[in-house]
Structure 1
Amino acid sequence: MTAIRWPLLVRRTHKWLALFVGIQVVLWTVTGFYMVTVHIDYIHGDHLVRPAPGGAFSPSNLVKPTEVVASVPEATELRLQRLLGKPVWRAETSKMPVLIDAQTGTKLAPLTQAQVEAAARSVYTGDPTIVSTKLLTEAPLEMQTRKPPYWQVEFAGWNRPTLYISPTTGELISRRHALWRVFDVAWMLHIMDYDERSNVNNPLLRVATWSAVAMALSGAWLLFWSIRWRKKKKA
């Protein structure tokens, strides 16, 4: 029976593991470096939008909440907010929010493109030049976690700053830009979830991780064996 030549077996195992998982280890390093180098607040696009304006409205000039509830009996929640600088009542229902002009009591129709663009400009901090405005009924890749419909408003700029606006309330849903999109690709490569980009415990990642651990352990064993072998040969 032939004896197992452990150094040869471990060396071959280490070599094939390195071929299998080496590229992914490089990707882990590069993508991890990007994700820790660029500040997460910048990735989130906090610099693209300004804080919501403060200040209260005078209740004496507004429609009473009881009147709003009477006009929207299916409402489960009612709150006062702003829409393009004007007060509106927002009534939450099981289907979608209903906006009511807080000064006249009339129900508001879904926002027009002009109103959406005005709402986007009112919160955007950069160049107000809009290059594209679209009402989306299917979620793009960068908004897979958000259910449409919503307006996509893209502004001029090298980083393609994009705001997503609610068609019923005019509120900002999310913001995207070039460095966020790079981060999204880096995150996908880092966690090896090439479909939904959210599962950090997928089988492919687990296999690659344990393969990398085995590669590191086999490399450490070879280093230890090499040092001992050289000492023994010298003696």
Structure 2
Amino acid sequence: MAIRWPLFIRRTHKWLALFVGVQAAIWAASGMYMVAVHIDYIHGDHLVRTPEMTGQDLSGLVPPADVAARDAGTREVKLQQLLGKPVWKVSSEQGAYIVDARSGERIPELDKSLAVEIASSLYTGEPEIVSARLLDEAPQEMGSRKPPFWRIQFEGWNEPTFYISPTTGELIGRRHNLWRIFDIAWMLHIMDYDERSDVNNPLLRVATWSVVAMALAGAWLLYWSFPRRKKKKKVKAVA
């Protein structure tokens, strides 16, 4: 039985359109949101206070070499501040921790009050705390970040939230509702409903090539829809 190509292509185009039409609309809507909201706002840069660049008095500090020598697995020793006080951040094979740069004593993990104080000092808005919890399991919005960390949520319609490291006192994440919407839009856009990071997953590839096939089928149908002139046969004159 001969294949009726116009009918076959038309049906293929229709079913492909039904298959990828909804996803194409989702691509358009999610892409519009990701373009409309400035990426710096999504990152939460407006939530974090810019630290003042002031000189530090390095006299009387414990030498970094002495701090490094205490831990055989030390990889790096870096000077930073914790609530205006100098501390050495030690990165070792066992993890990161901080040492009082003047006394040389290791600073224990942050308790709730200190974590709230650090978060409040970094927050640009009114530091009205809604909740403060030490998490042992990472929520979806923290991605691959490994717990534990303090989750400090501030009051506000956007639910601004800071994540503070209990071992170093560093701000390791900031989230808010517009970021969370962006995360959902990104998940829908790349069709990775698990990790939300794989931009080359099988589902996205199938949908993309289905759109290409639909477009090619539509182009073929458009070409076929134009009327074709039949060639006139030449009539030979009879002598």
The answer, yes or no, to whether TM exceeds 0.5 is yes
User: Are the equivalent residues in 2 in contact too, given 1:188–1:194 (CA < 8 A)?
Assistant: yes
Change over 3 Å in CA distance of 1:88–1:4 after alignment to 2: same
Change over 3 Å in CA distance of 1:122–1:223 after alignment to 2: same
Tell me the equivalent position of 2:85.
Answer: 86
| Alpha-carbon distance in structure 2 between the residues aligned to 1:228 and 1:206 | 36
Tell me the equivalent position of 2:48.
Answer: 49
Using the TM superposition, give the Cα deviation of residue 45 of structure 1 relative to its aligned residue in structure 2, in angstroms. Answer: 0.8
Q: Output one character per residue of 1:49-86: Cα deviation in whole Å (capped at 9) or x when no partner.
A: 12233223212232233443344454222121100111
Gaps of 5+ in 1: none
Which AA in structure 1 matches 2:178? L
Q: Which moved more, 1:60-69 or 1:121-130?
A: 60-69
Which AA in structure 1 matches 2:101? A
| Alpha-carbon distance in structure 2 between the residues aligned to 1:91 and 1:56 | 21
Match of 1:76, SS state, is: strand
| Alpha-carbon distance in structure 1 between the residues aligned to 2:206 and 2:28 | 17
Give the TM-score normalised by the residue count of structure 2. Answer: 0.90
Tell me the equivalent position of 1:7.
Answer: 6
Tell me the equivalent position of 2:236.
Answer: none
Give the TM-score normalised by the residue count of structure 1. Answer: 0.92
Using the TM superposition, give the Cα deviation of residue 13 of structure 1 relative to its aligned residue in structure 2, in angstroms. Answer: 0.7
| Alpha-carbon distance in structure 1 between the residues aligned to 2:133 and 2:52 | 26
Tell me the equivalent position of 2:104.
Answer: 105
Judging by fraction of residues, say which structure has more helix. 1
Using the TM superposition, give the Cα deviation of residue 188 of structure 1 relative to its aligned residue in structure 2, in angstroms. Answer: 0.7
Which AA in structure 2 matches 1:173? I
| Alpha-carbon distance in structure 2 between the residues aligned to 1:66 and 1:29 | 55
Match of 2:50, SS state, is: coil
Which AA in structure 1 matches 2:139? P
| Alpha-carbon distance in structure 2 between the residues aligned to 1:111 and 1:137 | 14
Structure ID, larger Rg: 2
Aligned length: 230
